[in-house]
Amino acid sequence: MTEKSPDAPAFDYRFDTLKVRGAYNPDEHNHAFSVPIYQTASYEMGDAARGERLFRQEELGFLYTRVGNPTVDVLEKRVAQLDGAVAAIALASGMAAVSHSILNLADAGDHIVSSPYLYGGTFDLFKSILPRYGITVDIAPSLAEEDLQKLIKPTTKALFIESIANPTGYVADIAALAKLAHRNNIPLIVDNTFATPYLIRPIEHGADIVVYSATKGLGGHGSIIAGLILEAGTFDYGNGKFPQFTDKGYTLRDRNDVYRGFLEVFPKTPFTARARLALLNYLGAALGPFDAYLALLGIETLSERIEKQLANTRALIDWLQDNEHVLWVDYASLPESPNYELASRYAPKGSGTIFTFGFKGSIEEQEAFINATRLFSYQVNVGDAKSLIVNNAKTTHSELPPEEQKAADLPPETVRLSIGLEDPRDLIDDLEQAFAVVFGTRG
């Protein structure tokens, strides 16, 4: 909500302190120790003079919850601190975060370059929805620099990737791709949903914009739909390619009615300021304060949850790798993975709590296996405290035609597991009994 850096406690607290206390000072909130839920649509402006100051951006304060809310503000600033960002804006969903990050950079006639390894909803937005509004997206055949560079043209306004891809778990070379983007005078947007800032902090590696679905690991309990956009504060939006940040408008006029632009009024945080005042304000995908509160509660245990989920993930992978009903297990942190070096460099604690395996058998047997699980829940979500299973080719990525599923390394035998906080022995027992239902043997 404000132009200044996130509030106290300052950046020098470490990750685990910030995740429970960051950006919140009880003295400023009637000494409430838990972040209050400011369940209000609007705010008293006081008197007409203050109203004018607020509308001319001379005083930064809350006006209307669609554009800013004190509970949501703590979430925004806390996640910004965890990621080392200068500012953040929360939105009603991860898809709102993805779409707003693009719409803030690209107008009709503009172009985006992206990765083949994307969440199915993002892929569909890129291929089917944005082109209807004049924004075209080229999906590269791989994340190799030469493949991406070939697609960049004068109208290209961003490079969009996932740090740990959904569902393949591929880890991107963020630093190399940031350099590539910057050589072309465009920002790198990184969807860091699968990693969370506990596993990867993309801004440290050169990313300019980070987006999250906080629905997943950040929130961590499968109870909310929420998203965030973060900005590194280092990209030059005045480089001539992004007139939307320099064009002067009446909305940002000063006291003498001189028109101003976003870069001029918000020099440190132009991206999130524009995403809020020009997009969220008029497209309206605001996050409600109660959902922001639940996200904050979830983030309080982020490190502890992810650590235990990583240990569970490793236990499940060890067991599946030795199973006769399994064709392959794809997890970038496995030494035999072609992605191992990148995983070790960017996600040394582990490449996430979600992985895929190839089911050895027919599609009917795969479906019977999924139906036979009792503890794993059959859901399209990931990052819950409870373990989830899904057949991506027929669900989360079913909008991709077979050739695009192939390009995304998503064969029909793929089963995705999102590992929760249960006792790993119960999770293994569950898969064992499900294999036995289908094949008569436990694998």
Closest to ligand PLP by CB, 390 vs 438, is: 390
Residue 392 binding ligand PLP, by CB under 6 A:
no
Tell whether residue 330 is a contact of ligand PLP (CB under 6 A).
Answer: no
Query: Rounded CA gap, 93 and 97, in Å?
Result: 6
Distances (CA, A) of 353 to 80, 175, 282: 22, 23, 36
Least Å from the CB of residue 219 to ligand PLP: 9
174 binds ligand PLP (CB under 6 A): no
- How far is Cα 159 from Cα 170, in angstroms, rounded to an integer? 17
Beta bridge partners of 329: 357
Rounded to whole angstroms, the Cα distance separating 308 from 298 reads: 15
Q: Is 93 in the site for ligand PLP (CB under 6 A)?
A: yes
Q: Does 190 bind ligand PLP (CB under 6 A)?
A: no
Q: Which is nearer to ligand PLP, 103 or 436 (CB)?
A: 103
Is 121 an interacting residue with respect to ligand PLP (CB under 6 A)?
Answer: yes
Quote the least distance from Cβ 154 to ligand PLP, whole Å: 28
Which residue, 252 or 347, is less far from ligand PLP as judged by CB?
347
Using CB under 6 A, pick the residue from 2, 193, 196, 373 that binds ligand PLP: 193
Q: Where does this chain touch ligand PLP (CB under 6 A) — which range of 126-134, 188-196, 333-341, 356-364?
A: 188-196
227 near ligand PLP, judged by CB under 6 A:
yes
Report the 10 Å Cβ neighbour count for 238: 15
Binding of residue 215 to ligand PLP (CB under 6 A): yes
Rounded to whole angstroms, how far apart are CA atoms 216 and 194? 7
Contacting ligand PLP (CB under 6 A), which of 162, 208, 231, 413?
162
- Select the residue interacting with ligand PLP from 101, 156, 168, 213 (CB under 6 A): 213
Give the position of tokens 């979500």: 381
CA separation for the pair 333, 315 (Å, rounded):
13
Of 38 and 170, the one with the shorter C-beta distance to ligand PLP is 170
Q: Report how many residues bind ligand PLP under the rule CB under 6 A.
A: 16
**Those residues with Cβ within 8 angstroms of residue 46's Cβ, 6 or more apart along the chain or in another chain:** none
Nearest to 428 by CA among 345, 321, 296: 321
Question: Using CB under 6 A, which of the segments 61-69, 136-144, 190-198, 252-260 binds ligand PLP?
Answer: 190-198
3-state secondary structure at position 7: coil
Position with the least CB separation from ligand PLP: 94
Pairwise CA distance, residues 217 & 306, whole Å: 8
Residue 101 binds ligand PLP, judged by CB under 6 A: no
Residue 249: Cβ within 10 Å count? 13
| Least CB distance to ligand PLP at residue 243 (A) | 28
C-alpha 354/C-alpha 256 separation (Å) is 55
Residue pair 253/56 in contact by the 8 Å Cβ criterion: yes
Q: Map tokens 């590539």 to a residue.
A: 180
Q: Give every CB contact of residue 144 below 8 A, 6+ residues apart in sequence.
A: none
Rounded to the nearest 10°, the torsion over CA 24, 30, 31, 33 is -60
Binds ligand PLP by CB under 6 A, chosen from 76, 110, 191, 413: 191
Q: Which stretch binds ligand PLP (CB under 6 A): 26-34, 107-115, 119-127, 244-252?
A: 119-127
User: In the set 22, 94, 202, 361, which binds ligand PLP (CB under 6 A)?
Assistant: 94
Residues of the shown chain interacting with ligand PLP in the complex, contacts defined by CB under 6 A: 93-95, 98, 119, 121-122, 162, 166, 191, 193-194, 213, 215, 225, 227
